[in-house]
Amino acid sequence: MDSSEKFALNEALEKLDNAFQVAAKNLQLACLSLRNSCIDTSVTNREFKHFRNQILRYALVYRKEIFPLVKEVASEIQDFMENFTSSTFEDFRDEMNFLIEDVRRKKKIIAIALAFHIAIQTNFEGVKGDATSITKKLENEIHSPKKLLESTELLINSIQTFIGAFTNVAQSFITLENELQNITYGDRKRGEVYYEMCNNKAESIVYSCRNCISVIPICETYLDAIPLEDDGKYARFWRLEEDRKVGNNKTKWLNNFLNPK
């Protein structure tokens, strides 16, 4: 492994560690903002109530279909990095083929989580655009929807930052996967360097993953405060539709997203 390859691998590990720290913070902000957008019932204007109902609809989608994927991704990355804290190099070498297959499976989960966050952000941005003009009409009312719109804007910004973090997770994981495949056909020394570099960062990344997972109950408390009365049919329909857009080849979608033409 030459110096440029070592640099790329080290950068990927650093980005992976930092990404989960950023993701944890912005996941909490997004869920809190979503709660605040949904529980504000002070605005009685008919048009703005329609805006709030749209937010509620997408809140259900987020709670049922997207939010659970965050914990799944963090758990999968934690599981991968624990291979470097609980196993020797010889154990790692013996499990190489299994690890490559497992990495491919994990990458598909990352792709879905990323795709769904991008889709729901687009939905929220559309709703916000519709609501902006209404806010200007009602800004002089006693119960102005300004705070509601501010909460929605913070929600969108938080999800955008979260998407950036998960994009880094995807990019870093692809680097780890590519190098893992390279050492399968490379010499022992290359494998030892890979193992040692991952081992040096594993504990920190595992901690960041656990920290991300630890905020899940707090976020669930925020989301559970949202008065969701829908039976979940729309959320299931939304997932099926977005899954169709991604297609069966999740890896291809991810590569196209990370490397746009």
How many structural domains comprise the chain?
1
Query: Which is more confidently placed, 51 or 36?
Result: 36
Q: In the structure, what pLDDT confidence band is assigned to residue 205 with cuts at 50, 70 and 90?
A: very high
* pTM (two decimals): 0.87
Query: How much is the pLDDT for 84?
Result: 92
> CB-based burial of residue 244 (10 Å sphere; 0-12 exposed, 13-18 middle, 19+ buried)?
exposed
Range scoring the smallest mean pLDDT among 13-17, 75-79, 172-176: 172-176
Query: How much is the pLDDT for 142?
Result: 47
Q: In the structure, what pLDDT confidence band is assigned to residue 136 with cuts at 50, 70 and 90?
A: low
pLDDT digits (tens, 9 = 90+) for 221-242: 998 888 877 667 888 899 999 9
pLDDT digits (tens, 9 = 90+) for 95-105: 888 988 999 89
Structural domain boundaries enclosing 153: 3-258
Per residue, the 3-state secondary structure of the chain, as one string, reads CCHHHHHHHHHHHHHHHHHHHHHHHHHHHHHHHHHHHHHCCCCCCHHHHHHHHHHHHHHHHHHHHHHHHHHHHHHHHHHHHHHHCCCCHHHHHHCHHHHHHHHHHHHHHHHHHHHHHHHHHHHHHHHHHHHHHHHHHHCCCCCCCHHHHHHHHHHHHHHHHHHHHHHHHHHHHHHHHHHHHHHHHCCHHHHHHHHHHHHHHHHHHHHHHHHHHHCHHHHHHHHHCCCCCCCCHHHHHHHHHHHHHHCCCHHHHHHHHHCCC
